[in-house]
Amino acid sequence: MAATFENRRAIVTGAAHGIGKATALRLGRQGASVIVADLDQSALSETAAELRELGAQCDTFAVDVANRQEVASMVEHTVTTLGGVDILVANAGIMDREPFLEMSDKLWDRVLSVNLKGVFLCGQEVARQMVTQGTGGKIINLASNSGIFGGRGRAAYGASKAAIINLTQTMAIELAEHQILVNAVAPGATRTRAVSGEVPAPSVYNRAPLQRFADADEIAAMICFAASDDCTFTTGHVLPADGGFTIAGVMEG
Ligand SMILES: NC(=O)c1ccc[n+]([C@@H]2O[C@H](COP(=O)([O-])OP(=O)(O)OC[C@H]3O[C@@H](n4cnc5c(N)ncnc54)[C@H](O)[C@@H]3O)[C@@H](O)[C@H]2O)c1
C-alpha cells in the first residue's frame, strides 16, 4: 500500500473504538505518526499497541474533548511528541437518544457538549497550531445522516451533527487563507459498539441501496481521503459514506 501519510502527524479523537480506531490504524498503516486520544484509556492502549505492531509512531492521550484545558494539553502534547500536527480527525462523539418530549436538559447538554463543543474546541486549538506552523493542514469533522435528516430520538444528536455541518462550512471559509482544508464525513449506519444488530433498522435497510451496515474501515477510507494529499480542492463539504442512504427516494418499482 502506498505510504500516503509519510511525514504527516495526526490527532484522532475517539480513537479507542469504532470509526476513530479504524481511522487511526489506517493512517498509521499508511505512514502517519498518530496521537490517539480518548476518554477510555484502557481501550486506547490497545489501539496504540496495534499501531506499534504496524510500525507506526504513536502515543496515547487521555482527553475529554468537551474540556478546553484538556484539549489544549492534547495539542501541546502532540507538538512535544511529534513536532507539530498536520491532520485532525475530530471523531469523538456520543449517540445518546431520548424521545423529544422526555428529553432531559442533562442529555441535551452532554450530547451538545461532547459532539459540538468538542469539535469546536479540537478544531480551534489544532487550527491555531497549524496557523503557527504555516504549512496548512486537514481537519475532518464527523457528522452523520442524522445531521441531514430528522430522526426519532435524535433531537440532541441530530442538532449536534447538523451544527457540525455548518461549523465545518465556516471553518473552511475562515481557514482557507491558511491552506487548512476542513471537511465533514457523514457516515451511514456503521457497525461499531454503538450500533448493534445483524442488519440496519428497516428505515435504513429499505432505503439505503447497499442494504447493509458499513464496516468502520469503510468510513475510515473516506476520512483518509479528506486527510490525504489527494484532497486539494474540496473544502467545507459533507462527504457521504452512507451506502446511498441520502440519494434514495421511492424504493418500490
Ligand atoms: N456508528 C455509526 O453508525 C455512526 C453513524 C454516523 C456518525 N457516527 C459518528 O462517528 C463517530 C464515531 O462513532 P462510533 O460509532 O465509532 O462510536 P464509538 O462509541 O464506537 O466510538 C466513539 C469513541 O469516542 C469516545 N468518546 C466519547 N466521548 C468522548 C469525550 N468526551 N472525549 C473523548 N472521547 C470520547 C469513546 O470513548 C469512543 O472511543 C461519532 O462522532 C458518531 O456520532 C457514527
Asked, for residue 58, whether it belongs to a domain, the answer is yes
| Catalytic position from the list 5, 157, 213, 245 | 157
**Measured CA distances, 253 to 156, 246, 247, 250 (Å):** 35, 19, 16, 8
Average pLDDT across the chain, whole number: 96
What's the confidence (pLDDT) of residue 40?
98
Domain count, the chain: 1
The atom number, within ligand 1, closest to the CA of 95 reads 43
Identify whether 191 is part of a domain.
yes
Q: Is residue 25 part of a domain?
A: yes
Residue 253 has pLDDT above 70, yes or no: yes
Q: How far is the CA of 81 from the centre of ligand 1 (A)?
A: 25
pLDDT digit string, tens, across residues 103-157: 999 999 999 999 999 999 999 999 999 999 999 999 999 999 999 999 999 999 9
Burial class (CB in 10 A: 0-12, 13-18, 19+), 177: exposed
Q: In sequence order, which residues have a C-beta less than 8 Å from that of residue 203 and are 6 or more positions away? A: none
Atom of ligand 1 nearest to the CA of 187: 6
Residue 79 CA to ligand 1 centre (angstroms): 24
Domain range for 213 = 9-240
CATH number of the domain where residue 74 is located: 3.40.50.720
- Strand arrangement, sheet containing 238-241: 58-62, 33-38, 9-13, 87-90, 137-142, 180-187, 238-241
Rounded to whole angstroms, the Cα distance separating 21 from 155 reads: 27
